[in-house]
Structure 1
Amino acid sequence: MQSIEFRNATVTMVGNLFLPADFSADRYYPAIVCVHPGGGVKEQTAGLYAEKLAAQGFVTLAFDASHQGESGGIPRRLEDPFARVEDIRAAVDYVSTLDFVDADRVGAFGVCAGGGYAIDATKTDRRIKAVGTVSPVDIGATFRRGWDGSLTLQAQLATLDAVAGQRAIEAAGGEIAEVTYVPETPDETTPADLVEAHEYYRTPRAQHPNAENRMLFTSSVTRIFDYDAFAGVEFLTQPVLLVAGSAAGSLWQAENLNKRLPENTELVVVEGAGHVGLYDRPEYVDQAMAALTPFFTATL
C-alpha cells in the first residue's frame, strides 16, 4: 500500500493505493476506485475491500472524500453528494494516468452511500466499465424516506423546516450546527443496522480519528435531500453488481434498483447479514468477495 495524493480541481485528495502482491511495473493492470460510506474514511471498510481486491490482481485506490478525512476542502465535515461524485471522477483521472494501469479497464466500487455515489458516477462517466457495491444506498432516499423507507412526507418536511430555521440562525451570526451520521447513544427505537453502525464507527471495532461522526447540518442536509443517486439509470449500461444483506433494513434500496436495471444488474443477497456486517465481518465479507472477484474479473 502506498499513500498518494491527487487533484480534484483545487482540492488535494489523499488516498491509499494498493498493488497486487506480484506487482510488476512492466505490466498493465485493471484498476478499481473504492468509495467509502458517508462519514467513513479510507482506512475503514473501503480500504478493507481495496486490499482484498488488490490481492486478486487489481490495482485499487481507496481515498478520503473531499472536505473529510485527510483530503482537503473547505468547509470541513461537509457531506456533499455532488462533490463526492466528482471525487470519484477525479480518482478515475488519477488511476487512468498511472503507467501500469490499463485505462480501458477501470471499475468503481462503493459501500453504503459510497455504493450510491459509485453508481451515480458510473452513469455519466463512460471510462468506468463496471461498478460493484456492498450494502448500496442512495443517501438522498435514506434522508428523505428513512432507513427502512417508511418516513412520511410530513416528517420529511419537518426536517426541511428545521434546516430552514437553523440556516436563519447561522445567517444572523449564530453557532453553526452539526449532526451525527450514526447515533452516539442508540436506544430501543434505533434500527438494528444503526445500532451496529454505532458499534462499527464509535468503538474500537473500526473507530478512526479521522471519522468524526459529524457533518454540517444545513449545508449537508440541503444538498442530500436534493440528491438522487439512482436518477437517470437509463444511462447506466455498464455491468452492475449489488451485494446486500438479507437482514439489512436498507435491502429495499438494492432491490428497487435491481428491478429498474434488469438487463445488466445482478443482486447477490448474503443470508443473515445486516447492512454493517458486510463492512468487516469475515463470514460476510468473504461471501461478498466471492461475488465481487469473478464480477470484476469478467468485466475488467
Structure 2
Amino acid sequence: MRIDVTFPSNGLALAGTLLLPDAPAGRPFPAVVVGHPSGGVKEQTASIYAGRLVRAGFATLVFDAAYQGESEGEPRGLEDPFQRAEDVKAAVGYLSARDDVDPGRIGALGICASGGYVPYAAQTDLRIRAVATVSAGDLGTVMRDGLGGGQSPETTRALLERAGAARTAEARGEGIHRQEWITDAVDAETYEYYRTPRGHHPRAVQPWPVRNLDQIIQYDSYALVRLIAPRPLLMIVGSAADTAYISRAAVERAAEPKRLVVVDGATHVSLYDVDEHVTAAVAELAPFFATHLAAPGAA
C-alpha cells in the first residue's frame, strides 16, 4: 500500500511517501526511514530501496528534505545539514505516532549524503534502533578537504568567503546567489544518473544557494558516531566507490556493534539503481533490520 503523507519538521511541511506491506500484520509493523542523497528527491534511489524493504515486511517512509522536492522551505534547494538531520528525526516522530507502526521497532537507512545525516541524527535520537547506510557521504568532510582529501586550506577559505559574500548580498536585497552542482564537470556516472533518463527527476538537483557552503563546511557527520552504540551500525560501500574511505573511517570511529560491507564491483552511484548492486545491498539490509527490529520475544 502506498500513501502520500505530510509531516512537520521545524515548522516546515515535508512531503513523503509511506509504503506498507501488502500482507496483513498481526501486530504493528517494524519501519525504516529512508533518506535520499543531497539534491535528490524521494522518487529516485530512496524509493528503490524503500520498495525492496517493504517487500521484506517493513513499513518504509521516504520523504523530500526541507527546501527540496515537494517539501516546504525557502530558499529552494537549500542543503542545510542540521535541518536534514532534523528531517530524519521528524520522520521517526511521524512513524512513531502511527497506530500501524511499532514505535519501538524503527530503523533508518541513509543513502549518499543521507548516509551522513542518518547517523548524525541517530547519535542523539535513541528512537532509531538500527542504523544503516549505502554509499555514505559526509558533505562536511568533502567540502573541507576535497573528495579523497588534499584540498588546500586556501581553497576551503575561498569557499567560506563565497558563502559570506552570498549572505551579504542577500542582506542587501540582491537576491539568492545560486550555483549548479551537477554539471558536466562532475564524474560521468553521477552526471548520467542525475541529468539523463537513467535517474533524472525534474524536481532533483536544483541549483543550491551559495550560502550553503558555510553550513556544510561546519558540519561533521560522524563526530559523535560512537554514541550510536549499543545500537547496531551497518555501512555498505562499493569496491570501486571513490567515497568508500568515508564509510571506512566512520566505522573505525564507531563503537560495536558495527559492520562494513563491500559490494564487489559497485561504484558510489551504481548502488543507487543498478539492480545487481542494489540486490546485493538489500541482501544485507533486510536481515540486518529484521534482526535488530525484531519484536520482543520473536524467535
Residues 65 and 152 of structure 1: CA distance in aligned 2, closer, same or farther (over 3 Å): same
- Per-residue CA deviation, residues 234-271 of structure 1 (Å, 9 max, x unaligned), is 31111000000111111110010111125221000111
Task: Report if the CA contact (8 A) 1:180-1:215 is conserved.
Answer: yes
Within a 5 Å distance, the mapping from 1:19-58 to structure 2 comes to: 19-24=20-25, 27-58=27-58
- What is the letter of the counterpart of residue 43 of structure 2? E
- Per-residue CA deviation, residues 101-144 of structure 1 (Å, 9 max, x unaligned), is 11100001110001110001111000100011100111111111
Within a 5 Å distance, the mapping from 1:81-96 to structure 2 comes to: 81-96=81-96
Root-mean-square deviation (CA, aligned residues, Å) is 1.4
Where does residue 283 of structure 2 map in the other structure? Answer: 290
SS at match of 1:42: coil
Where does residue 104 of structure 2 map in the other structure? Answer: 104
Task: Report if the CA contact (8 A) 1:38-1:181 is conserved.
Answer: no
Q: Which runs of 5+ in 2 are unaligned?
A: 294-299
Q: In structure 1, how many angstroms separate the alpha carbons of the residues matched to 2:96 and 2:284?
A: 25
- Per-residue CA deviation, residues 29-86 of structure 1 (Å, 9 max, x unaligned), is 1000110010000000111101110000000000000111111112221110111111
- Per-residue CA deviation, residues 214-250 of structure 1 (Å, 9 max, x unaligned), is 11111x1111111111112231111000000111111
Task: Report if the CA contact (8 A) 2:142-2:149 is conserved.
Answer: yes
Identity between Structure 1 and Structure 2 (%):
44
Task: Report if the CA contact (8 A) 1:131-1:241 is conserved.
Answer: yes
TM-score normalized by the length of structure 1: 0.93
Asked if 1:208 is matched to 2:201, the reply is: yes
TM-score normalized by the length of structure 2: 0.93
Q: In structure 2, how many angstroms separate the alpha carbons of the residues matched to 1:195 and 1:15?
A: 30
Q: In structure 2, how many angstroms separate the alpha carbons of the residues matched to 1:180 and 1:107?
A: 33
Measure how far apart 1:157 and its partner are: 1.3
Q: In structure 2, how many angstroms separate the alpha carbons of the residues matched to 1:107 and 1:181?
A: 30
Q: In structure 2, how many angstroms separate the alpha carbons of the residues matched to 1:114 and 1:234?
A: 18
Task: Report if the CA contact (8 A) 1:107-1:129 is conserved.
Answer: yes
- What is the letter of the counterpart of residue 95 of structure 1? L
SS at match of 2:234: strand
- What is the letter of the counterpart of residue 222 of structure 1? D
Q: In structure 1, how many angstroms separate the alpha carbons of the residues matched to 2:28 and 2:169?
A: 54
Q: In structure 2, how many angstroms separate the alpha carbons of the residues matched to 1:9 and 1:216?
A: 20
- What is the letter of the counterpart of residue 223 of structure 2? A
Measure how far apart 1:97 and its partner are: 1.1
Question: Which region of structure 1 is more displaced relative to structure 2, 7-16 or 29-38?
Answer: 7-16
Q: In structure 2, how many angstroms separate the alpha carbons of the residues matched to 1:289 and 1:215?
A: 31
- What is the letter of the counterpart of residue 179 of structure 1? Q
Asked if 1:185 is matched to 2:172, the reply is: no
